[in-house]
Structure 1
Amino acid sequence: MELIMLGTGNAMVTKCYNTCFALRNEDEYFLVDAGGGNGIFNQLEKAGIPFTGIHRMFVTHAHTDHVLGVIWVIRKIATLMSQEKYTGDFVIYGHDEVVKALTVFCQLTLPRKIVRYLGDRIRLHEVRNGEKAEALGMELQFFDIASTKMKQFGFRAVLPDGKRLVCLGDEPYNEVCRKYVEGADWLLSEAFCLYADREIFSPYEKHHSTALDAGKLAEALQVRNLVLYHTEDKNLVFRKEKYTGEACSVFSGHVFVPDDLERIGL
């Protein structure tokens, strides 16, 4: 299994792509979010991920920097289907608000020859809190992160080797999620900025957290590996070093601060 970070930035970045990623098991990929536009094409191409290898996807929530790229993914896969170049179906998991948003966006912005695949070979699968599914040999369980802004789900994946990976979306941890997160082998957590830079970026006013907060959380929940993403992009040259240092000051496990397109073996 491999984690491929397609994008690592927050909604307003210009020097990297919006946060989204893929999990790879051999030649199959599970896509999570797609950023805010057709830049997802460029990221997938650079990562060497073919659309024909993507049959399952999860969308955490309907904010623009996560959901608009999904429209382009749907368009591309529907086009491949129409050309008989895509085998099987494409399933997109998301809660009710995500499914509603994608349905409306597709109907308003895509041609009929594309939209006709929705509900047929392209299925928008509404998931509820605690619901399970399977992808890439992983057992997935989706959960409501109790967002303070827009409804948002995360997920826990039990990998084929039994390790547990948890995606918390792009908001701070809520205690109601403890049973999904505690003791995870891998925790994917947002870190809007450094705690040292909180006066500059105002993470708490925006309902986000810092690298220091993520490190404290991972230590308290006995997580083994912490991956930080959804950051600001004002100092990318030193991001890896500084974010890692701040999180490691309070966390005894391994910290990863990936760049766009970086791959992490799980």
Structure 2
Amino acid sequence: MKLTILGCYAATPRTITNPTAQILEIKNRLFLIDCGEGTQVQLRKNKIKFSKINQIFISHLHGDHFYGLIGLISTFSLLNRNNDLHIYGPKGIKEIIMLQLRLSNSWPNFGLHFHELTSKESEVIYEDEKVLVKTIPLKHRIYTNGFLFQEKIDKRKLNIEAVQKYQIEKCYYQNIKNGKDILLDNGTLIPNVQLTFDPEIPRSYAFCSDTAYNEAILLIIEKADVLYHEATFLQSEENLAAKTMHSTAIEAATIAKKAQVKQLILGHYSTRYDNINLFKEEAETVFPAILLADDGVSFDL
């Protein structure tokens, strides 16, 4: 599991900072989370292949989280994309994008599928054989969701030395991976645990931006391996955070502590601050395992 931050600053893009967008690589899948202005440029800078992005998750319809989407879709067409593209986001995202495509007569040459979200309760919005994604309802000025990405438990791993020791034929290997015991020709039953290794413990990543302090999400993100939580303001601007329905670094750390997550990544900083290390210093007074997002930074989770 790898997270690449394409942009993690609030409001407007600058020459030195970009609005929210990030790539999560999980189980050989690339998920784009939010798509602020300049996302496709950041994808190129970070050498991420456009063709591997088949799912895009948009948290809400504030511009700094989706204004890069129409440009990215247009570029996909110019690159002669063939794969279907699935976009998950609030109701209204389809109308916005389709209007731009219609008025510019720029219909994509690939399947474009919108999955519009309206539920205020957590729900599963994507699932395949390896990954599950559910929403994290957030508390912001407009309808907003975070996203919880969870690996599914893999099959057990074959212990080659053990199966060779018992001279088990290859035709039984798949059954062994599926957890079945093996009965030898001499009537001896070999328990599956003697023929396999435990699979890796599945990991999870929770993305929460933008939101006011909201303990309602604790049960959803409980014990996540990594939590990305917005920290737009320092505690000195807590009144402004409350007014705009954003969080402070200390509030993000408090959520991480109460949810018992393993690691907290801070981001979505207001551009009023020149030193993002101040966010880490404040958050560490509440929760010790703090990392700072920054444009172009990657984390091996």
Give the TM bin, normalised by the shorter chain: 0.7 to 0.9
Map residues 121-200 of structure 1 onto 2, 5 A cutoff. Answer: 121-129=111-119, 130-134=123-127, 137-145=130-138, 147-159=139-151, 161-198=201-238
Higher alpha-carbon Rg: 2
Residue 107 of structure 2 corresponds to residue 115 of structure 1: yes
- Alpha-carbon distance in structure 2 between the residues aligned to 1:31 and 1:24: 9
Q: Is the 8 A contact 2:212 2:241 kept in 1?
A: no
Map residues 37-48 of structure 1 onto 2, 5 A cutoff. Answer: 37=37, 39-48=38-47
- Alpha-carbon distance in structure 1 between the residues aligned to 2:41 and 2:267: 19
Q: Secondary structure at the match of 1:33?
A: strand
Q: Which residue number in structure 1 is paired with residue 101 of structure 2? A: 106
Q: Which residue number in structure 2 is paired with residue 245 of structure 1? A: 281
Distance 1:143 1:104, change over 3 A: farther
- Alpha-carbon distance in structure 2 between the residues aligned to 1:150 and 1:142: 15
Post-superposition offset of 1:257? 0.8
CA deviation digits over 1:71-101, x for unaligned, max 9? 11111112223xxxx3421111113233333
Q: Secondary structure at the match of 1:203?
A: helix
Q: Report the residue type matching 2:94 in the other structure.
A: V
Q: Is the 8 A contact 2:5 2:22 kept in 1?
A: yes
Map residues 1-266 of structure 1 onto 2, 5 A cutoff. Answer: 1-14=1-14, 15-25=16-26, 28-35=29-36, 37=37, 39-81=38-80, 86-108=81-103, 111-112=104-105, 114-117=106-109, 121-129=111-119, 130-134=123-127, 137-145=130-138, 147-159=139-151, 161-198=201-238, 202-236=240-274, 238-239=275-276, 241-252=277-288, 254-266=289-301
Q: Report the residue type matching 2:11 in the other structure.
A: A
Q: Secondary structure at the match of 2:233?
A: coil
CA deviation digits over 1:163-222, x for unaligned, max 9? 1211122112433323212222111111012113547xx222211111111111111121
Q: Is the 8 A contact 1:186 1:224 kept in 2?
A: yes
Q: Is the 8 A contact 1:8 1:230 kept in 2?
A: yes
- Alpha-carbon distance in structure 1 between the residues aligned to 2:210 and 2:132: 22
Equivalent residue pairs, number: 249
Q: Is the 8 A contact 2:212 2:242 kept in 1?
A: no
Q: Is the 8 A contact 2:2 2:24 kept in 1?
A: yes
Q: Which runs of 5+ in 1 are unaligned?
A: none
TM-score w.r.t. structure 2 length?
A: 0.76
- Alpha-carbon distance in structure 1 between the residues aligned to 2:145 and 2:254: 22
Q: Which runs of 5+ in 2 are unaligned?
A: 153-200
Q: Report the residue type matching 2:259 in the other structure.
A: L
Residue identity (%) = 27
Q: Is the 8 A contact 2:219 2:259 kept in 1?
A: no
- Alpha-carbon distance in structure 1 between the residues aligned to 2:212 and 2:13: 19
- Alpha-carbon distance in structure 1 between the residues aligned to 2:7 and 2:136: 23
- Alpha-carbon distance in structure 1 between the residues aligned to 2:92 and 2:115: 12
Q: Secondary structure at the match of 1:99?
A: helix
